[in-house]
Structure 1
Amino acid sequence: MHRGLKPLLAVAGIALVAGCAAPSEPQVTFYSHGNSVAVNPAQLCDATGQNCVQPSENTVGNLRVPDNDPLQISVPGEVAATPWQVAFIYRGTNGQELDGRSAVFRPNERHAYTLQVPPDGTRLEHVEVQQFSAVLTQGTDGGVDFGIGGTWILNIHE
């Protein structure tokens, strides 16, 4: 992943596959403190995990998010119509890198999400919107994991 961060993909082994005709690239918009950035997908495959779009250049957005300010995330209908979640990395006041995830949003449950970090001086560093595909794999705990079909990435600057 970028800047040496551990990957946040929910299922290991999901790889980009150069594909043929795929839909146009939906953008996810990130907004904080009066500024916004629209981000193209770093990965985008159809529901079966096939026919992936070759990533365009500049697939990582950058945005300044002041401490204690929320990050608002808006996804287009193509993403909201499928299960999706927000994964993030932040740095605690002691310098420790921490990660977290939102709940998984059901299809058509919502088009937006507001990410708030703890108000104790914690700094948000990296955010990914992850769109799930219909691909299932055996989970390490005996259950099943869904593959990630689309990923939109944002790096945070102070």
Structure 2
Amino acid sequence: MRRVLPFLLLPVLAACAAPQDPEVTFYADGKAINVQPSQYCDVKSENCEVDTRAAGVLRVRPGRPVQISVPGELATTAWSVKFTYRNAKGEPQEPLRSKLFTERDPKYAYTLVLPNRDDQLESVEVQQYGSRIESSTTGAFDFVARGTWILSVDDRS
């Protein structure tokens, strides 16, 4: 009977393992990277876990798109993509954001294309929104990010 006991405990121990936070996949120039969230909170955007080392890095040449794949647990919620870039002269441009994707029309993938052919991407941030809303100093209301996945761009030639 002693030899059977360890085998009986394995399913119980596996069932007790904490669920893993969702990963986002970024793909550019033939390379892909899976990125853990740098911040992940409950649906109220509270009780957050932060991992400052979670950002991924990919080399992305000027004007090249970045494909982003998200798991179902993100695709069926409210999320968007925020990104920073600079023009061909190296001048930083205003950060831009994709449209808001929602559970009404789940989006499992998004291709980020820069405004101009010679623009250089600097960073990408996938943001999943929770149920909490806050007002800004301008009187507008914003959903608070529940989770963030960050890609830093290596633009060395």
What TM-score comes out, normalization by structure 2 length?
Answer: 0.80
Task: Please identify which structure carries the higher helix content.
Answer: 2
Counterpart in the other structure of 2:123: 126
Residues 88-107 of structure 1: pairs in structure 2 closer than 5 A: 88-98=83-93, 99-107=95-103
Output the aligned Cα RMSD: 1.8
Q: 1:66 aligns with which of 52, 55, 61?
A: 61
Shift of 1:33: 1.6
| Structure 2 Cα separation of the partners of residues 54 and 100 of structure 1 | 24
Percent pairwise identity: 43
How many residue pairs align between the two structures? 137
Residues 137-156 of structure 1: pairs in structure 2 closer than 5 A: 137-156=134-153
Pair 1:127–1:49, CA change in 2 (3 A):
same
Shift of 1:23: 4.2
Q: Are the counterparts in 1 of residues 26 and 32 from structure 2 also a CA contact under 8 Å?
A: yes
Comparing 63-72 and 29-38, the one that deviates more: 63-72
Q: Flag structure 1 segments of 5+ consecutive residues without an equivalent.
A: 1-21
> Is 1:46 the equivalent of 2:39?
no
User: Any runs of at least 4 consecutive aligned residues in structure 1 with deviations exceeding 3 A, and if so which?
Assistant: none
Shift of 1:94: 2.7
> Is 1:157 the equivalent of 2:154?
yes
| Structure 2 Cα separation of the partners of residues 93 and 66 of structure 1 | 12
